[in-house]
Homo-oligomer: A and B are copies of this chain.
Amino acid sequence: MGATGAVGSELLRVLERRNFPFASVRAFGSARSAGKTVEFGNEAIPVEQLGPGWFDSVELAFFSAGSEISRQHAPAAQAAGTIVIDNSTAFRMDAHVPLVIPEINGNDVRNHQGIIANPNCTAAIALMAIYPLHRAFFVRRVIASSYQAVSGTGARAIAELKQQIEAAAQNQQPPPQVYPHPIAFNLLPHIGSFLPSGYTTEEEKLETEGRKIMHLPDFRASATCVRVPVYRAHSVAVTAEFEREVSVEQAQEVLAKAPGLELFDEPIHNRYPMPLNVAGRDNCQVGRIRRDSVFENGLSFWVCGDQLLKGAALNAVQIAELL
């Protein structure tokens, strides 16, 4: 469900290139997508709408059409025996729903009751580096700033950045539609909606989802999430405090071995992670690793990951593979 969206179309490509076993594949979308088709293999699959009983004979459903759609349609599918892997926020913090990054808490999949949640993209990318370091040094708290690509918002936001860039070349500034302000040549410290705490819903997820995924109820994280004029791949500047003494060499060794992660850390040769380089790649990259100067046992580092892949479609398919 959400087959024509930024995540949905990536999901079809991931299923295909990982040779996911299937008897048949169906694509669902909103009324806006009626009459469209999506490509899968050499076929053009018609985009259906979720009608009554859509889940009959569906064993596994991927949802990436927002939390309202998930809340509305996933429970009936679940009740009928369909397993739902949900990319929205709808069920992530539900105690009966595992929230899974296969490289971190793949075993949690065993406890599913028909719905498994896919984590927030920025949290997932940051945790890909935080968790291996936690296993080595025991993480206490994290301060993170994100630099998030427009494709995290969806296909319409990609088009909006493109239009604004083209308009700027003509000295025009069309009114923004997807974001509240222009994103071309600008930054928006505003992802999700604002909470009474002053944080946004997006910013809280690193802490709340991090606790659940890492099984660390005391994990503390403070994030600032910022939308940047980049098409694809999110980046996160992370400062983490640990209980044990840290060293850059040990951290590099741990991160170099971590699954789904590449150590890319030779700054004197201008080698560090960048969104343009990780876009389209399954693995996240981490670099700029240094002993942090304000925490006794602290490390600062920079992680980039393709948020449509590890932050969404790839992670969802990896969960399906575990099943």
Interface of A toward B, CB cutoff 8 Å: 141-143, 145, 147, 165-166, 169, 180-182, 185-190, 194, 197-199, 207, 220-222, 224, 226, 228-231, 235, 237, 239, 248, 267-268, 270, 272-276, 287-295, 298, 300, 302
Dominant SS among interface residues on chain A: mixed
- A274 and B239 contact, Cβ closer than 8 Å, known pairs A221-B293, A224-B302: no
Choose from B187, B198, B226, B268 the contact partner of A291 (Cβ within 8 Å): B198
10 A-B pairs with the lowest CB-CB distances in the bound complex, closest first = A198-B290, A145-B145, A224-B237, A180-B270, A186-B276, A145-B237, A141-B294, A222-B294, A194-B267, A220-B294
Given contacts A185-B276, A189-B237, A198-B291, 17 further A-B contacts (CB under 8 A): A142-B294, A165-B165, A169-B169, A185-B231, A185-B275, A186-B275, A189-B272, A189-B273, A189-B274, A189-B287, A190-B272, A194-B267, A198-B288, A207-B293, A222-B292, A222-B295, A224-B300
- A274 and B199 contact, Cβ closer than 8 Å, known pairs A143-B143, A147-B147: no
- A198 and B143 contact, Cβ closer than 8 Å, known pairs A187-B228, A221-B294, A237-B226: no
Q: Shortest CB–CB separation between residue A50 and chain B, in angstroms?
A: 32
List the number of copies, as a whole number: 2
Residue of B nearest to A207 (CB): B293
Interface centre among A165, A169, A198, A228 (most CB of B within 10 A): A198
CB-defined A-B contacts under 8 Å, sample of 6: A143-B294, A181-B270, A186-B274, A220-B293, A224-B302, A229-B229
- A293 and B231 contact, Cβ closer than 8 Å, known pairs A147-B187, A182-B276, A267-B194: no
Q: Which residues of the partner chain B approach A229 to less than 8 Å between Cβ atoms?
A: 185, 228-230
Residue of B nearest to A268 (CB): B194
- A228 and B270 contact, Cβ closer than 8 Å, known pairs A187-B275, A239-B222, A293-B199: no
CA distance A272 to B199 in the complex (A): 13
Q: Which residues of the partner chain B approach A231 to less than 8 Å between Cβ atoms?
A: 185
CA distance A248 to B197 in the complex (A): 10
Q: Which residues of the partner chain B approach A302 to less than 8 Å between Cβ atoms?
A: 189, 224
CA distance A220 to B292 in the complex (A): 11
Q: Which residues of the partner chain B approach A273 to less than 8 Å between Cβ atoms?
A: 189
Cβ contact within 8 Å between A222 and B187: no
Q: Shortest CB–CB separation between residue A291 and chain B, in angstroms?
A: 7
Q: Which residues of the partner chain B approach A224 to less than 8 Å between Cβ atoms?
A: 145, 237, 239, 288, 300, 302
CA distance A63 to B84 in the complex (A): 63
- A199 and B230 contact, Cβ closer than 8 Å, known pairs A186-B275, A186-B276, A224-B302: no
